[in-house]
Chains A and B, each alone.
Chain A
């Protein structure tokens, strides 16, 4: 066992309202710079939709991620031989048009325009060329546009959804969509790290944050191609690639990243997971059908004395182990098993998990002509969901529909249980059926409800501080400073020292 700690995340999609506050928080903190304008380290997509960059999920186009290669995995579009072949061509790299051309408006024109009959306008100006431009696309151009032929129907996840199901889904009265906020997954098996010819990318040992060393990056842009989530961006101004840093300066002082902190819907959870690094290759190379299960198995029980012992032996700090025991991510992912990784078939073992959205079910029209959402099986069954299970399975379980249904049964049971508690119109038989199908009791249902709906800041974000005071002792003898004058003086005080 090679136990390491990993900062992991859960996004509860049922709670996301698609306000983009997270994206704006990130933009203001990190990517409001020349060359980084088009980077959205955090972005919120409308699903069904093509996402950002457009069709990022289609690895036939972008050749990102890993593919199974016997007992191991190899990069789909990069790696030693393929990388050498493509090193000067990089044929699958997204171009600026696959993202969008960033722009600003010439606001000064509103003030400087001479008096005339018409209102002055602020023209759009490209932030790349500085020339006036026609705005054709943006990072969330298909925001709330479910059902459009250009975006929603081009969603790659419809590959395994039958034409009949699609048609049914896109009927106006059945139309549905949900949001999918995305940041870097800080994967256990990051394709970007594997693809870099300069060795500029690395996964931090203490918390598993994946970073790009700006001094070693040589602009090969293999990480841009290799990352199946397209979360590595090339800064055309500095000539270096950049990616989400998970606000590591905040993490180190035990604060959640800016996008987590600012989330209006409080959909984001962050916590430490302990995992066995020796099993990464084996898990990444497992069959599609068991990929999710094997992925979740790699995270270990932080209460198990064996695991704690091995973690300590590996230099994991006690405070980190305690944080792992309180981790909300561990509860969602391992205890309740209601959070799933996004596109596990890319085999990067992402550390960002999503609680799938229990989208509205079709209501029935009652005898009185009213829509009736409460019928014999409260909130209808999950089989009547508007969105096809196969679509969500393509997003979260590599096509394994059973796993999505399992999660929905649990989420459904929580709702039925809460309805029983608050309204009390659920028959005991129905409650028992739901609880049996979900496989848990009322206490678990309440715990899920509490962490979903009534969670506090401290419950959502359990981030252990990085022990800088200890790590500096590895480099310097802090005893040298004992008895010296703190920060020192730039100018000596008049009264002398």
Chain B
């Protein structure tokens, strides 16, 4: 218990936002349901629903019946690794195109979430939901990217590129992401290329991820400076535009060559600086000629 306590303390330091939830898991089973709900909303709901159809990831209604608890724990903690071993997991990853990001949750917490899902799944017989495509419609029609004006697209572009600061001061998307779009410079290669994000995830997925990012790096980046609803709308309008207009964008040739040009440029710069330092330097002893002649005359004797 003391050991767990210690771990808990460490976690509190790291993830202040989940501190209450974790404390609940450790200290009281009665609080688990509430804890599971909080965790689900925070970490899962961006991509998953319970009984409302599939979003970015599958609908989790009745997942507790379909899969064993151990299977779920393994999948949540390391989908990509687990997929290599488990056929079912592999199939799901193949179906959705990419593995679910690894969640840094503890077994207890995952079990709490599963318990929450079990409680909230409708009791009727689980049907296969993979066949039907349920498009999640945002609550406010004004925030549907389909209704976005050109201004919204432009605003999204500026938010993405960092020309327009995020209202709550989060980092610009372009730091880590790239979108192939003529008006943008090449973005970062640290995270996924978002050119086709709208195709992959749809409005609901983009909205979900932006409103509560499930990816660890992104989550910690926007933890204390979340995107506003308007920014999310403008960004998803831009992503929609980027996806639909992708065919008109020019291929960006320097993307892969950046390292070569950058590295070459840096090398050349250093070489020039060193060259000029070398030029100014007194490179030889003033008596070199005399010494050489001394050696020459000594050898010829």
Spell out A's residues near B (CB within 8 Å).
Answer: 50, 53-55, 58, 61-62, 89, 91-95, 97-98, 136-137, 150
Segment from B35-43, B151-159, B168-176, B277-285 that makes contact with A: B277-285
Q: Is B286 in contact with A53, judged by CB distance below 8 angstroms?
A: yes
Q: How far does the alpha carbon of A94 sit from the alpha carbon of B285 in the complex, in Å? A: 8
State whether A91 and B285 are in contact (beta carbons under 8 Å apart), knowing that A136-B294, A150-B290, A150-B293 are contacts in the complex: no
Contacting residue for A91 out of B281, B289, B291, CB 8 A: B281
Tell me, yes or no, whether B287 is within 8 Å of chain A by CB: yes
Q: Are B285 and A98 in contact (CB under 8 A)?
A: yes
Q: Which 9 A-B pairs have the closest CB atoms?
A: A97-B285, A91-B281, A54-B286, A55-B286, A150-B290, A92-B282, A98-B286, A91-B280, A54-B287
A98 to B284, CA, bound (A): 9
A95 touching B285 by the CB < 8 A rule?
A: yes
| Set of chain B residues within 8 Å of A93, measured between Cβ atoms | 282
Contacts of B290 in A (CB 8 A): 136-137, 150
Q: List 15 A-B contacts (CB under 8 A).
A: A50-B286, A54-B287, A58-B286, A89-B281, A91-B281, A91-B282, A93-B282, A94-B286, A97-B291, A98-B286, A136-B287, A137-B287, A137-B291, A150-B290, A150-B293
How far does the alpha carbon of A133 sit from the alpha carbon of B4 in the complex, in Å? Answer: 72
- For residue A89, which residues in chain B have a CB less than 8 angstroms away from its CB? 277, 281
* Contact digits for B262-301, partner A, Cβ 8 Å, 1 yes 0 no: 0000000000000001001110011111110110000000
In the complex, A91 Cα to B286 Cα: how many Å? 14
Bound together, the chains give a CA A205 to CA B288 distance in angstroms of 42
A sample of 19 more A-B contacts (CB under 8 A), given A89-B281, A137-B290, A150-B293, is A54-B286, A54-B287, A58-B286, A61-B282, A62-B282, A89-B277, A91-B277, A91-B282, A92-B280, A92-B281, A92-B282, A95-B285, A97-B285, A97-B288, A98-B285, A98-B286, A136-B290, A136-B294, A150-B289
On chain B, the residues within 8 Å of A91 by CB distance are 277, 280-282
- Closest residue of chain A to B293 (Cβ to Cβ) is A150
A137 to B290, CA, bound (A): 9
**Which bucket holds chain B's interface residue count?**
10 to 19
Which residues of chain B have C-beta atoms less than 8 A from A58's C-beta? 286
- Across the two chains, which residue of chain B brings its CB closest to A58? B286
Residues of A within 8 A of B280 (CB): 91-92
Smallest beta-carbon distance B286→chain A, Å: 4
Report Cα–Cα, A92/B291, bound state, in Å.
Answer: 20
Q: Give the chain B neighbours of A137 by CB distance below 8 A.
A: 287, 290-291
Most buried by A among B277, B280, B291, B293: B280
User: How many angstroms between the C-alpha atoms of A484 and B282 in the bound complex?
Assistant: 62
Q: Give chain A nearest CB distance to B53 CB in angstroms.
A: 66
Chain B residues contacting A98 (CB-CB under 8 Å) are 285-287
Complex interface: chain A residues within 8 A of B282 (CB): 61-62, 91-94
Q: Please, which residues of chain B bring their CB within 8 A of the CB of A53?
A: 286
Tell me the bound Cα distance from A298 to B257 in angstroms.
Answer: 66
B151 to chain A, nearest CB (A): 50
B73 CB to closest chain A CB (Å) equals 57
Min C-beta distance of B38 to chain A, whole Å:
57
Contacts of B293 in A (CB 8 A): 150
| Set of chain B residues within 8 Å of A95, measured between Cβ atoms | 285
Give Cα A136 to B295, complex, Å: 10
Nearest residue (CB) in A for B294 is: A136
- Chain B's closest residue to A92 (CB) is B282
Chain B nearest Cβ from A81, distance in angstroms = 14
| Given contact pairs A89-B277, A91-B281, A136 touches B291 in the complex (Cβ within 8 A) | yes
Q: List the A side residues contacting B289 at CB < 8 Å.
A: 150
Chain A residue at smallest Cβ distance from B285: A97
A137→B292 CA distance, assembly (Å): 12
Contact A61 B286 (CB under 8 A): yes
- Cα-based distance from A32 to B223 in the complex (angstroms): 71
- Expressed in whole angstroms, the Cα–Cα distance for A97 and B290 within the complex equals 11
Q: B287, B293, B294: which has the most chain A beta carbons within 10 Å?
A: B287
A88 to chain B, nearest CB (A): 11
**A56 CB, nearest partner CB in chain B, Å:** 9
Chain B residue numbers with a CB within 8 Å of A136 are: 287, 290-291, 294
Q: How far is the CA of A98 from the CA of B294 in the complex (A)?
A: 16
Separation of A497 and B277 alpha carbons in the complex (Å): 73
- Smallest Cβ distance from B284 to chain A, in angstroms? 9
Closest residue to A98 on the B side, CB-wise?
B286
- Complex: how many Å from CA A62 to CA B281? 10
Whole-angstrom distance between the Cβ of A152 and the nearest chain B Cβ: 12
**Residue in B closest to A148 when the chains form the complex, CB atoms:** B290
Q: Distance (Å) between the CB of B213 and the closest chain A CB?
A: 46
Bound complex: CA A110 to CA B280 (Å): 48
Inter-chain contacts of A97 with B (CB < 8 A) = 285, 287-288, 291
Residues of B within 8 A of A61 (CB): 282, 286
Instruction: Give CA–CA (A92, B288) in the complex, Å.
Output: 16
A58 to B281, CA, bound (A): 15
Across-interface contacts of B288 in A (CB, < 8 A): 97
Name the residue in B286, B291, B294 with the highest tally of chain A Cβ atoms < 10 Å from its Cβ: B286
Bound together, the chains give a CA A98 to CA B285 distance in angstroms of 6
User: What is the bound-complex CA distance between A94 and B286, given in angstroms?
Assistant: 9
In the assembled complex, the CB of B275 is this many whole angstroms from the nearest CB of chain A, namely 13
Question: Which residue of chain A lies nearest to B279 when distances are taken between CB atoms in the complex?
Answer: A91
Chain A residue nearest in CB terms to B288: A97
User: In the complex, what residues of A have CB within 8 A of residue B285's CB?
Assistant: 95, 97-98
Q: How far does the alpha carbon of A89 sit from the alpha carbon of B280 in the complex, in Å?
A: 11
Q: How far is the CA of A98 from the CA of B286 in the complex (A)?
A: 6
Whole-angstrom CA separation of A50 from B290 in the bound complex: 12
Instruction: Return chain A residues, CB-CB under 8 Å to B281.
Output: 89, 91-92
A94 vs B283: C-alpha distance when bound (angstroms): 10
Q: How far does the Cβ of B29 sit from chain A's closest Cβ, in whole Å?
A: 66
Nearest Cβ distance between residue B55 and chain A, in whole angstroms? 59
Determine the distance from Cα of A89 to Cα of B282 in the docked complex, in whole angstroms: 11
- Quote the shortest CB–CB distance from B57 to chain A (angstroms): 57
Give the complex CA separation of A61 and B286 in angstroms: 9
A91 (CB) vs chain B CBs: closest residue = B281
Least Cβ distance of B167 to chain A in Å? 43
Shortest B299–chain A CB gap in Å is: 13
Q: How far, in Å, is B41 (CB) from chain A's closest CB?
A: 57
Q: Which residue of B lies closest to A100 (CB)?
A: B287
Q: Of all chain A residues, which has the CB nearest B289? A: A150
Distance, CA A58 to CA B282, complexed state (A): 12
Cα distance, A97 to B285, chains bound together (Å): 6
Question: How long is the Cα–Cα vector from A95 to B285 in the complex, in angstroms?
Answer: 7
Inter-chain CA distance A54–B287, complex, in Å, is 7
Contacting residues, chain B, for A54 (C-beta < 8 A): 286-287
Q: Report the Cα distance A98→B280, complex, angstroms.
A: 18
The residue of chain B having its C-beta at the shortest distance from the C-beta of A151 within the complex is B290
CA distance A276 to B171 in the complex (A): 64
Tell which of B281, B285, B288, B289 has the most Cβ of chain A within 10 Å: B285
Whole-angstrom distance between the alpha carbons of A136 and B298 in the complex? 12
Instruction: Please name all residues of chain A whose beta carbon is closer than 8 Å to the beta carbon of B291 when the two chains form the complex.
Output: 97, 136-137
Q: A61 vs B277: C-alpha distance in the bound complex, in angstroms?
A: 15
Q: How far apart sit A98 and B287, CA to CA, in the bound complex (Å)?
A: 6
For B283, give the chain A residue with the smallest CB separation: A91
How many angstroms between the C-alpha atoms of A97 and B284 in the bound complex? Answer: 9
